[in-house]
Structure 1
Amino acid sequence: MKVVKNIHNNISLCIDSKGNEVVAFGKGIGFMKPPYEVPIQKVERTFYNINPIYIDMLSQIPEEAINVSSQIIDYANKNLKGSFNENLIFTLADHITFSIKRLQENIHLDLPLIHEVKHMYPKEIQIGEYALKLIKEKLNVELPKQEAAVITLHVVDYGLKSCISTGESNQEKIERCTQIIEEYNGLKIDREGFNYSRFVSHMYYLLDRIANNTEVKTKNKKIFDQLVKEYPKTYDCAKKACRALEINPNDEELLYLILHINRLSSREEKQ
């Protein structure tokens, strides 16, 4: 394997024997001046199909944050029995670095409620909670508890490779649902926006939970009834979308769908 660019002491951009570009991790592989051949036994792990934007960004991220991010995604793959996109390791490392910088500079942001994220993603929240413990252990930084929710949403938003690559029918359903929301509310949704990305991620997981009969079940009946009264139009839109998708989610799942549609619609109307 040929090293063509050093990113950190233990991380380099390489070209493999087939001419493919790959980010390689290995102890000391980034010490020598490129180009040079690195023995394959010195390479501990490799990442293919990395977005060039992230390759340029890597040199600005501390190597310790990249290693922590790598361990977090390894934990996620093992415990959720999935396969996350390789780019996620580097975007998460960037997020962790930025979160630590905010803390050090005493910059406070409104973070999502961890209880809400726990209800929406009861399994995935374990990733965020594990991440905070690992960051404290490896980087000696104690981030706010709410950061567990932010990290969870970051992982969910960037998603599982298996969900995105094999879920053609789900993609079509989500697009149909999006069109219904647009037609019902008379607006055009920005499909490149963050809120839409979060909505899509939620829909993938919702469809997966319904297919596997593992819907979220908590005691939020009062909140659901209140939302229906406050946002009757959004509730009607959500019900229309569910009928079109031939799904019948329980009130708890419908509650979160209403929240997502309301957030998506209100943000688009303001633009």
Structure 2
Amino acid sequence: MKQILNNNVVSAIDTAGNERILTGRGLGFEARVGDIVSEDKVEKTFHLRDDKITSRFMVLLNELPVETIQLTDDIVRLAQQALDYKLSEGLYVSLSDHLHYAIERQKQGQEIHNPLEWEVRHFYQEEYTVALQALALIAARTGVVLPNAEACSIALHMVNAGMKSPDGQVTEITKLIYQIQNIVKYWYSMAIDEQSIGYQRFITHIKFFAQRVLRKTELNDDVDDLFNLVKKKHEKTVNCVNAIGDFIKKNYQYQMTDAEKLYLTVHIENMMQRQQHSI
């Protein structure tokens, strides 16, 4: 053992020389630094590569019940299996802290609503599905049934871990996705089939576009010839994209490049054509 955090959490060095955080009932009880860890007592093993995240996580391990940490690990594993992108190690810190206080609030009858509930259910469907499974797991392990609003909060933690965005930026990204989608709806004066492949591809594109807008990172591919062709062929959609560009310039101080306009035009056009064919 390298360090004993409490009766249930220790850190140790494995045979490859890597530090690992181990949890298990009584794992650190009456143990001493330098002791060999009894493997039959180990319930969960954590190996975080980021030293800063490891330090923050070890602080939480001292503050939170070991059951919450183990529950967090199971939810992260569930997400890693279901989602097609890599999750930041910071999810262990943010999610374990969130789960602890969410469970405590529910026990005290303090229900908190998530103002982004509609947006999360529609824009992050895969994450929301995993989060609902997480609620079932939480209920089974703790006996506490959290409201659906908590599924939205858990989903946003996953989204944030996937985007590696600064704290709070996911909320702004989600807001911008909602605004762009509404401009498209208003422009075409019709509802959008949110279950269609075209819609899902459109949402995926504007998630990354929204990140670039907020980070002020331009996409500058050489698309002049192709964009000129698209402008002639899909005038209505290009005008819709120009309206989006004007909105973003005014509200986010970001000038859309022709490359951004081209790719957004293609996604909107594809989405609307698929929808019209299905009607």
Task: Map 1:128-207; keep pairs closer than 5 Å.
Answer: 128-159=131-162, 194-199=167-172
Corresponding position of 2:201? 214
Rate the CA distance shift 1:200–1:19 in 2: closer, same or farther, 3 A. farther
Backbone CA RMSD of aligned residues: 3.8
* In structure 2, distance between residues paired with 1:12 and 1:202: 41
- Maintained 8 Å contact 2:156/2:170: no
Residue 239 of structure 2 corresponds to residue 241 of structure 1: no
Letter matched to residue 33 of structure 1: A
Distance (Å, rounded) in 1 between the aligned partners of 2:257 and 2:108: 45
- The residue type paired with residue 201 of structure 2 is T
Instruction: Write the distance in 1 (CA, Å) between the matches of 2:47 and 2:99.
Output: 20
Query: Quick one: structure 1 residues 146 and 242, their matched pair in 2 at CA, closer, same or farther if it must change by over 3 Å?
Result: farther
Paired position in structure 1 for 2:214: none
**By how many angstroms is 1:232 displaced?**
6.4
Provide the C-alpha distance between the structure 2 equivalents of 1:144 and 1:91, rounded to a whole number of angstroms.
19
* 2:29 maps to amino acid: F
1:248 positional shift: 1.1
* CA separation of 1:32 and 1:82: change in aligned 2, threshold 3 A: farther
- The amino acid that maps onto 1:5 is I
Q: Corresponding residue for 1:29? A: 27
**Letter of the 1:214 counterpart:** R
Instruction: Describe the SS at the equivalent of 2:12.
Output: strand
Give the one of 112, 116, 120 matched to 1:109: 112
Does residue 60 of the first structure (1) align with residue 59 of the second (2)? Answer: no
In structure 1, the partner of 2:186 is none
Amino acid at match of 1:241: M
Partner Cα separation in structure 2 for residue 244 and residue 116 of structure 1: 27
Whether the aligned pair in 2 keeps the contact of 1:112 and 1:149 (CA below 8 Å) is no
Q: Which amino acid aligns with 1:48?
A: L
Retained in 2: the 8 A contact 1:77–1:83?
A: yes
Contact 1:119 1:216 in 2 (8 A): no
In the alignment, the residues of structure 2 paired with residue 31 and residue 242 of structure 1 have an alpha-carbon distance, to the nearest angstrom, of 61
Structure 2 letter corresponding to 1:86: E
Displacement of 1:37: 2.8
Q: Which sits farther off after the overlay, 47-56 or 90-99?
A: 47-56
Distance 1:123 1:65 in 2: 23
1:88 to 66, 69, 91: 91
Query: Cα 1:202–1:232, aligned 2, differ >3 Å: closer, same or farther?
Result: closer
Structure 1 stretches lacking a partner, 5+ long: 165-190, 204-209, 218-224, 253-271
When normalised by structure 2's length, the TM-score is: 0.59
Residues 87 and 201 of structure 1, relative CA distance in 2, 3 Å threshold: farther
Aligned to 2:5: 6
8 Å contact from structure 2 (residues 23, 66) kept in 1: no
Query: Structure 2: how far apart are the matches of 1:85 and 1:40?
Result: 30
The farther-off stretch of 232-241 and 91-100 is 232-241
Q: Give TM-score, length-normalised by structure 1.
A: 0.60
Equivalent residues of 1:4, 1:15 under 8 A apart:
no
What SS does structure 1 have at the residue aligned with 2:201? Answer: coil
Distance 1:202 1:38 in 2: 51
Paired positions, count: 203
Measure the CA separation in 1 of the matches of 2:77 and 2:25. 19
**Is the partner of 2:126 in helix, strand or coil?**
coil
State whether residues 13 and 22 of structure 1, in contact with CA within 8 Å, keep that contact through their aligned partners in structure 2. Answer: yes
Q: Report the Cα distance in structure 2 between the residues aligned to 1:114 and 1:24, rounded to whole angstroms.
A: 35
Shift of 1:60: 1.2
CA distance in 2, matches of 1:57, 1:145: 25
Larger radius of gyration: 2
Query: How far apart, CA to CA, are the structure 2 residues paired with 1:198 and 1:245?
Result: 22
